[in-house]
Amino acid sequence: MFSRDRWQEIFETIRKNRLRTFLSGFTVALGIFIFIVLFGFGNGLKNTFKQFFLDDATNTLWIYPSTTSKPYRGFKANRRIEFDNSDLEDIKDNFKFFLEDITPRINRNAQVKYRGESDNYSTRAVAPAHQFVEKTIIMNGRYINQDDVLNKTKNIVIGRLVAKDLFKNENPIGKYLEIGSSAFKVVGVFQDQSGDREERLIYMSYTTQQLIEKNNDKISSIIVSFRPEFGYKTALVFEEQLRLFLKKKKSIDPRDNNGIRIRNLADQIRQNQQFAGVLQMIVTFVGIGTLIAGIIGISNIMVFVVKERTKELGVRKALGATPKSVIGMVLQESIFITVLSGITGMIGGMALLGNMGDRLEEFFIIDPYVDSITAIVSTVLLILFGAIAGYIPAKRAARIKPIVALRDE
């Protein structure tokens, strides 16, 4: 294998048959390149689902009031259900075993002013637990705390982009914003991995918002988090018990699928991860198909090459070359071309993925990648099959008698 003369013969053969060598190498390189890129895109899809759904705590139930579709106990259909503060307390009292945190939400829009700057922003009135539900990161100052809830303070926490829009390079902590007709003190600035939309929000205490709205106790929705040690099945049990409890309290027909809507984030993430897994399997299947096509391509080319060189091989045998040396020469050439092309395709595929970043985010592919083990194993497999592709026709040619090979046209 390490014979200098053998390598000189191989390079001479490659030089004389540049087109054939190029086609052989291109088939191998393209096969491994496409496989790595497609496999990386599959991982990029998984990254997309992680970014979209894992920004919020996974052990959460999001509860929304809706409109009933059935009459029940004297109430007509199409009745609009509303939540209030008593619902928070009742959930706390009746689901202590499951409950970790609970927070209401009141969503509003308002014009916000600071000196000469103004714009419309969404506000969320919440409880302190909301920070952990949304995985909100405090950049400066603090979040809404229990004192804000109890005292109905006019303190707010603003998103990073709100601070950038209104305060420019000025430190917003301790400054006052005019929201509607009231002045609110900025006590914190937050960032959120969900992106720009979340970072244009303003948080305040839900009791403060209720005070502004004529001291009512209405809330838009409720978010509860259950203990993280509970598994998926326990989360489903909690969801169902919570739904039945609220339907009973709000006098909703148990058979009515409307009235109360619950979004189980753990269930949604599981479904989306399964969907992402199926997509990756499809992409991987296509990639494997490409590898197989590459193997078939190199096999066909090597069959043609050996047939083309039948007379040459016959001359070598007539001059005393053994079948083993004939096989070794063809096999060595095949492995050399396959290794060189396979490594080129692998490096090219990984380089493309490495420079992709978030450029395909609009196609739901974020940071596509392939781990080095997968790339190396797939390349080694292609090289192995490339060697087999060269061995089989070479073995057939080595069996041909010199007199037959020399007569072959």
Across the range 11-27, mean pLDDT stands at: 77
| Per-residue pLDDT band at 312 (split at 50, 70, 90) | confident
pTM for this prediction: 0.61
Supply the pLDDT for residue 149: 96
Helix (H) / strand (E) element for 105: namely strand 99-114
Give the whole-number percent of the chain exceeding pLDDT 70: 90
* Nearest-angstrom CA–CA distance, 391 and 110: 75
Under 8 Å between Cβ of 168 and 155 = no
The token pair at 298 is: 């190199």
| Per-residue pLDDT band at 95 (split at 50, 70, 90) | very high
Give pLDDT tens digits for 119-129: 999 999 999 99
What Å distances lie between residue 375 and 16, 36, 367, 393, CA to CA? 32, 7, 16, 28
Amino acid sitting at position 358: D
Residue 395 has pLDDT above 60, yes or no: yes
Give pLDDT tens digits for 154-202: 999 999 999 999 998 899 999 999 998 899 999 999 998 777 788 999 9
**Strand-pair category, 155-159 with 201-205:** antiparallel
Give pLDDT tens digits for 62-79: 999 999 999 999 999 999
Amino acid sitting at position 92: K
Q: Give one word for 36, left, alpha or beta, with left for phi > 0 and alpha for psi -120 to 50.
A: alpha
Helix (H) / strand (E) element for 288: namely helix 265-308
| Per-residue pLDDT band at 54 (split at 50, 70, 90) | low
Specify burial of residue 396 (Cβ count, 10 A radius: 0-12, 13-18, 19+). Answer: middle
Give pLDDT tens digits for 231-245: 778 888 899 999 999
**Strand-pair category, 99-114 with 117-126:** antiparallel
Q: How far is CA 297 from the centre of its chain?
A: 34
- What secondary structure letter does DSSP report for 199? G
